[in-house]
Structures are given as structure tokens and as C-alpha cells.
Chain A
Amino acid sequence: MKNSFIIVGFFVLGVFVGLINLLPQVLAKADLSTYALYILMFLVGVGIGIDKKAWKILKNANFKIMLVPLTVIIGTAIGVIIVSIFLKDINIRQALAIGAGYGYYSLSSIFISKISGETLGVVALISNILREIITLLVTPIFVKYFGKIAPIASGGATAMDTTLPIITKFSGKEYAIISVFSGIVLTVLVPFLVTFVLKI
């Protein structure tokens, strides 16, 4: 959670630096961000590969547990397609890409900005931050009316870290593994699905 604030803090700081033209625009336009993204994604990959706990959880996956991330993917897609009808500036493909961030706002917004420009990147950033916040705030109600998988589905990729404590509290300890599993699968899929949706 602390990390989320720092991440958003850096973004906001950047916005101010940009607003008052503190830095020459050349810097923002330079390919620095492309190389940083290359390094980031390589490191994210190494982080996943090296994570023994993650491999253990993934190895013990069965059909039923696989249904949870699948529920998130299909449910999110249906939801954003429906609401995109009411948004005249966002087409279905863009809505699907933003939805495919599953709350992993740092990575999804960076990817979407790179592929579709900063405007959509900002929408993705705000939308996925809100997904995390909604999950943190509404989990008790989700569990009460939609069952114990609901906050895991709402949390998406964040169900493995930032929203895990609240999910465990309201869905119970026995759902913690399912939550982490679903979060890991979605986290790994985010860059692939976002790219796939926008490029194909």
C-alpha cells in the first residue's frame, strides 16, 4: 500500500514538473522511457521466474482454481464492453485494454501509453487505481452479496499483494491461496493481454 502512494506520488510529481516546464520536453520525448520499460519488463520476468512460492502455487493449480482468474478475465471483458457503449470517446478495443490492466495500474498504464498514447494511458492509470481502491473499500459488501470469490475478482492482479489482506479478512484464510494464485496469473497476463487487445 505504501508503495502505491509512492508510485502515484512519482506520477503526480512528473505532472507538476511537466506543467511548469521544469524540464526540457526533450527528456520526455527521448527514448529513455523505452529503455526503462525494457529493463523493467526483463526484471519483472526475472522476478516471476525466481519466485519459488509462486511456482509452488502455480504447480498445485487445479481446474477449479483456474476458474477464478478466468472469471476475472471474462467478467471484466463483459463489464467494460457494456459500459463502453456509453462512452463515446472510448471504443470497445480500448475499453478491453484498460480492463485488462486488472488493477495493475503501473504496468498497464505504461503499456497503453506506449501503444495508444498518453491520453488513453491516463484513463488506464486512473481506472486501474480506482479498481484497487474500490476493492479495498467495498470488499465487505462484495463478500456479503456476491460470495467469497467476489473481492478476489474485483481485486484482479492486486489480489496477490495490495488487496490480499482485506480479502483474507473477509473471505477467510482458506481463500488466501486462491487470491494469490489468481493475482499471479493475472499479473503475468497483463502485458500480454494489453498488447494483444490493442495490436490485433
Chain B
Amino acid sequence: MLTVLALMTAGVILGFLLRDKCKIIKHIDKLINIAIYLLLFLLGISVGTNRTIINHLDKLGAEALVLSIGAVAGSVTLAFFTYKYFFKQEE
């Protein structure tokens, strides 16, 4: 995974150096999308061939929902205080 993070950092630096050549942006976005499609397709295949996951999809979905609710509730609650103490007065 460190390789991945190093590659990303290298990409940021290269992108920053190339930032005046805006024409490539469009192609980069397209390539990113293709890579994401491919990776999620492959993840889908390994999920589809994994009986344990398929047989427990309802349970995994329920766990996912609980985690989403926790994540959203936590951030929204803290956002209430951030808004109240740092942003609201200026309006």
C-alpha cells in the first residue's frame, strides 16, 4: 500500500509541475474513470465468486447502514457546534 501512496504523491508533484498544460486534465479524468470502472468490476467479480459474501449480503448491508448512520450522525452533530461557534455569528 505504501507503493500506492508513493505513486499518488509522485502524481501530485508531476501534476503540479504540469499544471499550466490544462489540456490533459480532461484525458486524466477519463482515464481515472476507466481505472475506477475496471477496479470495481474486478471487485464485483471477486465478490460474486465469494459465496460467504453473497450469502451474507443482507447482514453486510445492515452493518454498512449502521456505520453510515453513525458516521453521518457524528459529523452532523459536531458540525452543529462548528457552525454555532465559528460560522453563525458572521451572518
Could you list which residues of chain A lie within 8 angstroms of chain B, going by C-beta atoms? 3, 6-8, 10-21, 23, 25, 27-29, 32-33, 36-52, 55, 64, 67-68, 71-72, 74-84, 86-87, 89-90, 95, 98-99, 102, 106-107, 109-111, 113-115, 118-119, 121-128, 130-131, 134-135, 138, 142, 145-150, 152-154, 156, 191-192, 195, 199
Contacts and interface: CB of A to CB of B under 8 A. Distances in A.
Given A43-B31, A134-B72, A50 B16 contact: yes
A6 to B, nearest CB: 7
Q: Which of B9, B42, B61 has the most CB of A within 10 A?
A: B42
A13 B79 contact: no
A84 B67 contact: yes
Nearest to B59: A89
A180 to B, nearest CB: 16
A111 to B, nearest CB: 7
Contacts of A25: 49
Given A7-B37, A119-B60, A153-B76, A76 B71 contact: yes
B65 A127 contact: yes
B11 A122 contact: no
A47 B7 CA distance: 13
A148 B25 CA distance: 32
Given A48-B11, A127-B64, 15 more contacts: A15-B44, A27-B45, A45-B15, A46-B14, A50-B18, A55-B16, A64-B87, A80-B70, A84-B70, A86-B66, A118-B46, A123-B60, A149-B79, A149-B82, A153-B79
Contact of B32 (A27, A43, A146): A43
A8 B37 CA distance: 9
Nearest to A85: B70
Contacts of B12: 45-46, 48-49
Nearest to A172: B91
- Residues of B contacting A: mostly: helix
Nearest to A195: B1
Nearest to B14: A46
A195 B20 CA distance: 31
Contact of B22 (A52, A86, A89, A156): A52
Q: How large is the interface on B (under 10, 10 to 19, 20 to 34, 35 or more residues)?
A: 35 or more
A43 B70 contact: no
Q: Which of A32, A33, A148 has the most CB of B within 10 A?
A: A33
A117 to B, nearest CB: 9
Nearest to A87: B63
Given A47-B32, A49-B16, A118-B53, A79 B70 contact: yes
A191 B35 contact: no
A14 B72 contact: no
Contacts of B11: 41-49
B34 to A, nearest CB: 9
